[in-house]
Amino acid sequence: MTLVAGVIAVLGALAPPSATAAPFAAFVMDARTGKEIYSQNADARLHPASLTKMMTLYMAFTAVERGQVRLDSRFTVSSHAASQPPSRLGLRPGQKIELRYLIRAAAVKSANDAATVIGEGLAGSESQFGAQMTAMARALGMRNSAFRNANGLTASGHYSSARDMTILGRRLFYDFPQYYSIFSRRSADAGIATVSSTNKRFLDSYKGADGIKTGYTRAAGFNLTASAQRGPKRIIATVLGGQSTAQRNAVMAQLLDAGFGSAPTRVREIRPEAPAYLVEKKRSVKVARADAPPVAPVKLKTVAVRKATPGSAVPALPPVPRGDRLAAAVAEAQAAPQPVPEAAAARDKPAPRMTASARPAPRPGRTSARTQQAVAVAVAAAPPVAAERPSRAPRGNAPQVASRTPGSTIPTTAEVRTRSTRLAESAAPRPKSDTVILAAMDEEGDRSEPEATEIVSRPSTRGSRHYGVSLGHYPSKHEAEQLLLRTALQEASVLDDARRNVGNTKRGFEARFTGMTQASAHLVCGKLASNAQACTVTGP
């Protein structure tokens, strides 16, 4: 049986029994290279549900790294954000909460209200943030994704695909390794409460799993993007349209097993390139004015600028009195080339835009020593007024401050990064309640089933599990493995505890399941026989 025929067979086997149920899709990737291992309906545009929060968190991490916000920036909760349906943290309108706690609530609890606050705080409105998320998706190579909100609740024009969500999961791992551990937490302090992970059961049941995100709505079904590492291999996979939490997790375990079995042990790692995307938005910023003594007006002369040639002498600037340094710095800045009108008009537009590439760093020697000294004097004389929210970081690469002089108040780059890149750096505020917020399920939102109904276990040989089934002999090991995988996905409800095994015999490679009870072995063979698949029960 060819691989294409096998994919079609699996798609038919996993098709939901109800016409109103969500369609199924899956994608498996070798995270080290980004290469596809397995796909099924992977590019279909489906409802991502709370997998959307992966992009919300990607945008938040990006804003922190660019200096647009800090992890301790306090965001105000709007009435719209507070009214989002469960799952939610329980935020109140007008409440202010640090970004670090919103990130934890969105990543661990999958809180819809926390995700909405992040979107509104970063972009000013949910619709504006959705446009920025969509633009970022295009920059990351996600061709079948468009976003309308930050939390993933069902909305017209809000969609993604199994392939795109797997690409995004890989991006979170490679682009923000300093934050990635948040996705493996079983619980987290979200400021006003300790929240439990919606992905705890799969993380606990599958060896090597360390993320990433669950999702559920009635329109989407049960979704999961998972990442796991075993030895040098890392596999990332996405399942969309699962029929239940248990079935979704069982299928994910089978897909990851197949990924680890197919991926080579040694491979050259190919890290993704940084996306060429920069968000600009207008915001009010308080400007500090220094009370400096009157400065004599500076007369500017029109100077013809010619291109320097090797060996040419560049005339030195005349000495500038100490009192006129700030005026000279301003004059020098005014003499610099001004942006073209088109660029200025584009900068005033409120909508986000995507740049073709990162802005180049300033040329060495462009900024004179006098200018730097004048700016330092001005900063020391009048420190900026503290704004309620941090101002946007300047475009391009910020200058690196390697060291500081004695008595200077300007922090070094290392100190800035230390203060801004750790989620758990500052102490948590006094919680108003020591209990975990457990909101009742509404029509939309992540839903967790009772602990007893979640069964994702690995093969066991205890008790009477000494039976198995043989699916016949095949010319190659790969063909036998593909048949086992397709059968495992098709009969996941009865083969969840079975171990896939390929035996090398004189008759060829035997595809077989082991570690089963006698009843389950006969049940599997009965079902496969009805589909014209050869099957033999084997016993102890």
Residue 503 has pLDDT above 70, yes or no: yes
CA distances from residue 275 to 83, 353, 354 in whole angstroms, order as listed: 34, 13, 10
Residue 342 has pLDDT above 70, yes or no: no
Determine, yes or no, domain membership for 81: yes
Using the 3D structure, point to which of 209, 233, 262 is the last residue of a domain.
Answer: 262
Residue 160's CATH number: 3.40.710.10
Specify whether 205 is catalytic: no
Determine, yes or no, domain membership for 316: no
Tens of pLDDT, residue by residue over 404-457, are 445 544 555 555 455 555 544 545 545 544 333 333 344 345 444 433 334 344
Determine, yes or no, domain membership for 83: yes
Look at residue 484 in the predicted model and tell me its pLDDT: 83
**Contact 157/135 with Cβ under 8 angstroms?**
no
Using the 3D structure, point to which of 208, 235, 262 is the last residue of a domain.
Answer: 262
Question: Which one has a higher pLDDT value, 491 or 136?
Answer: 136
Confidence of residue 374 (pLDDT cuts 50, 70, 90): low
Determine, yes or no, domain membership for 528: yes
Tens of pLDDT, residue by residue over 354-364, are 444 454 455 55
Residue 31 has pLDDT above 90, yes or no: yes
The closest alpha carbon to 150, from 175, 123, 126, 124, belongs to: 126
Tens of pLDDT, residue by residue over 110-131, are 999 999 999 999 999 999 999 9
Q: Maximum distance among all alpha carbons in the chain?
A: 100
Share of the chain above pLDDT 70, in %: 61
Determine, yes or no, domain membership for 385: no
Residue 351 has pLDDT above 60, yes or no: no
Look at residue 460 in the predicted model and tell me its pLDDT: 43
Q: Which of 32-46, 208-222, 514-528 has the lowest mean pLDDT?
A: 514-528
Rounded distance between C-alpha atoms, residue 285 and residue 20, angstroms: 50
**Contact 80/88 with Cβ under 8 angstroms?**
no
From 50, 78, 161, 470, active-site residue: 50
Determine, yes or no, domain membership for 75: yes
What's the structural domain count of the chain? 2
Beta strands 96-98 and 74-76: pairing type? antiparallel
Expressed as residue numbers, the domain containing 495 is: 467-538
Determine, yes or no, domain membership for 351: no
Using the 3D structure, point to which of 245, 262, 279 is the last residue of a domain.
Answer: 262
Mean pLDDT value across residues 89-105: 97
Determine, yes or no, domain membership for 517: yes
Output the pTM of the full model.
Answer: 0.57
Specify whether 408 is catalytic: no
Specify whether 284 is catalytic: no
Residue 519 has pLDDT above 60, yes or no: yes
From 78, 110, 160, 197, active-site residue: 110
Residue 485's CATH number: 3.30.70.1070
